[in-house]
């Protein structure tokens, strides 16, 4: 039996690295769609939240970057670097009832919460047509 970490090191890294994987929960309430993303160690200004209209629907896009620490000291000697660095991007196709106006985003203790309000979708009207003839 093989160790997955040896065979699939990149997959192993994705599973362990929130900045690359950006685990996100999506729940729907009667009023909105709520997205909760774990972004440990990131500041508000390091995260970008956008609603992108792609013609065939709207997409919620969460992106950002955790910069590598600057090596100011030549005398520093690293023994281990396990905390992930780099860019991340998550995209979620929003349902038809998502309203792009009034989207709110907040972050506290490394947890981003994006709330997308819902709008009522008008159902097609049903009309009965009288059939004429003998």
Domains and CATH numbers, the chain: 24-68+84-117 (2.60.40.790)
Report H helices in the chain: 4-7, 9-16, 18-21
* Mean pLDDT of the residues in the chain: 81
Minimal CA–CA distance to 101: which of 116, 112, 121? Answer: 116
Joined tokens for residue 66: 């955790």
CB 94 within 8 A of CB 128: no
Q: Which residues pair with 4 in a beta bridge?
A: none
- Taking alpha carbons only, the member of 47, 43, 52 closest to residue 63 is 47
Q: What is the pLDDT of residues 51-87, one digit of tens each?
A: 999 888 899 999 998 776 654 556 777 788 777 778 8
Residue by residue, pLDDT tens for the chain (134 residues) are: 444 445 455 445 545 554 556 889 999 999 999 999 998 888 899 999 999 998 888 999 999 987 766 545 567 777 887 777 788 899 999 999 999 889 999 999 999 999 999 987 777 788 888 898 87
**Which pair of structure tokens corresponds to residue 84?**
């992930």
């Amino acid at each position: 039996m093989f160790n997955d970490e040896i065979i699939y090191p990149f997959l192993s890294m994705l599973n362990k690295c929130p900045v690359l994987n950006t685990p996100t929960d999506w729940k729907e309430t009667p009023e909105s769609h709520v997205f909760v993303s774990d972004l440990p160690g990131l500041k508000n200004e390091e995260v970008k939240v956008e609603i992108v209209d792609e013609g065939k629907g709207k997409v919620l896009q969460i992106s950002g970057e955790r910069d590598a620490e600057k090596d100011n000291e030549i005398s520093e000697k690293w023994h281990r670097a396990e905390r992930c660095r780099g860019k991340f991007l998550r995209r979620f196709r929003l349902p038809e009832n998502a309203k792009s106006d009034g989207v709110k985003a907040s972050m506290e203790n490394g947890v981003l919460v994006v709330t997308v309000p819902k709008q009522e979708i008008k159902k097609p009207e049903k009309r009965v047509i009288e059939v004429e003839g003998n």
